[in-house]
Structure 1
Amino acid sequence: MNIYDVSKHAHVSIATVSRVINGNPNVSEKTRQRVVAVMEELGYTPNVFARSLGLNTMKTIGIMCSDSSDPWLAEAISYLEKELRSNGYDSILCCSGYLPETKKKYLELLCSKRVDAIILTGSHYIEAKAKDNAYLLEAAKDIPIMLVNGHLDGEQIYSTVCDDQAAVYDAVTKLIQAGRTSILYLYSGNSYSNLLKLSGYRKALEDAGLPLRDELLVLCPKDIDSAMEHLKLLSSKGIHFDAVFAAEDILAVSAVKYGDQSGLKIPEDINIIGYNNSILSRCTTPEITSVDNKVEAICTTTIHTLMKVLNNGNVPAKTTITPELVKRGTTNF
Structure 2
Amino acid sequence: MNIYDIAELAGVSIATVSRVVNDSPKVSEKTKEKVRRIMEEHHYTPNVFARGLGLNSMKTVGIICPDVSDAYMASAVAHLEKSLRCYGYDCILYCSGYAYEDKVEAVSLILQKRIDALILVGSNYAGDGGDQATEYIRSAAREIPVFLLNGYVRAPEVYCILADNYQAVYDAVTDLIEDGRKRILFLHDSTSYSALEKLRGYEEALGDNGFPVPDELKVFVRNNIEMVQSRLQEIFREKMPDFDAVVASDDGLAVGAVKYVRSKNLRIPEDVSIIGYNNSELSICCEPELSSIDSRGKELCETAVEYMMHYLSGHPIRHKKVVPCRLVKRNTTNF
TM-score (norm 2): 0.83
| 2:99 aligned with 1:93 | no
Aligned-pair distance for 1:190? 0.4
1:154 maps to amino acid: A
2-structure distance, mates of 1:275, 1:67: 19
Aligned-pair distance for 1:117? 0.6
Aligned twin of 2:290: 288
| 3-state SS, counterpart of residue 322 of structure 2 | strand
| 3-state SS, counterpart of residue 132 of structure 1 | helix
Query: Which whole-Å deviations, capped at 9, do the CAs of 1:65-119 have from their partners, x for residues lacking one?
Result: 1121222111111100100111111111111111111101000111001211110
Aligned-pair distance for 1:266? 0.7
Q: Which runs of 5+ in 2 are unaligned?
A: 1-20, 22-37
Aligned twin of 1:180: 181
Superposed counterparts of 1:34-183, under 5 Å: 56-128=56-128, 129-183=130-184
Query: Which whole-Å deviations, capped at 9, do the CAs of 1:228-258 have from their partners, x for residues lacking one?
Result: 1111122216451111100001111111111
Aligned twin of 2:245: 243
2:246 maps to amino acid: V
Aligned twin of 1:194: 195
2:99 maps to amino acid: L
Query: Which whole-Å deviations, capped at 9, do the CAs of 1:235-294 have from their partners, x for residues lacking one?
Result: 216451111100001111111111222211111111100011111111111110011111
| 3-state SS, counterpart of residue 80 of structure 1 | helix
Superposed counterparts of 1:294-305, under 5 Å: 294-305=296-307
1-structure distance, mates of 2:149, 2:60: 18
Aligned-pair distance for 1:123? 0.5
| 3-state SS, counterpart of residue 241 of structure 1 | coil
User: Is the deviation greater in 223-232 or in 166-175?
Assistant: 223-232
Q: 1:321 aligns with which of 310, 315, 323?
A: 323
1:293 maps to amino acid: S
Query: Which whole-Å deviations, capped at 9, do the CAs of 1:287-333 have from their partners, x for residues lacking one?
Result: 10011111111100000000011111111111111111110000111
Aligned-pair distance for 1:29? 7.9
1-structure distance, mates of 2:218, 2:238: 15
Aligned twin of 1:271: 273
2-structure distance, mates of 1:298, 1:95: 20
Q: Report the number of matched residues.
A: 295
Aligned-pair distance for 1:58? 2.0
| 2:226 aligned with 1:225 | yes
2-structure distance, mates of 1:94, 1:219: 29
Aligned-pair distance for 1:57? 2.5
Tell me if the contact between 2:127 and 2:191 (Cα under 8 Å) persists in the aligned partners.
no
Aligned twin of 1:11: none
User: Is the deviation greater in 279-288 or in 68-77?
Assistant: 68-77
Following TM superposition, the consecutive aligned residue runs of length 4 or more in structure 1 with deviations greater than 4 angstroms are none
2-structure distance, mates of 1:127, 1:280: 26
Query: Which whole-Å deviations, capped at 9, do the CAs of 1:140-199 have from their partners, x for residues lacking one?
Result: 011010011111111111111111111000000111111111111000010000000000
2-structure distance, mates of 1:132, 1:213: 29
1:247 maps to amino acid: S
Q: Which runs of 5+ in 1 are unaligned?
A: 1-21, 34-45
Aligned twin of 2:16: none
CA RMSD of aligned residues (A): 2.6
Aligned twin of 1:36: none
Instruction: Indicate the percent of aligned positions where both proteins have the same amino acid.
Output: 45
1:274 maps to amino acid: G
Aligned twin of 1:256: 258
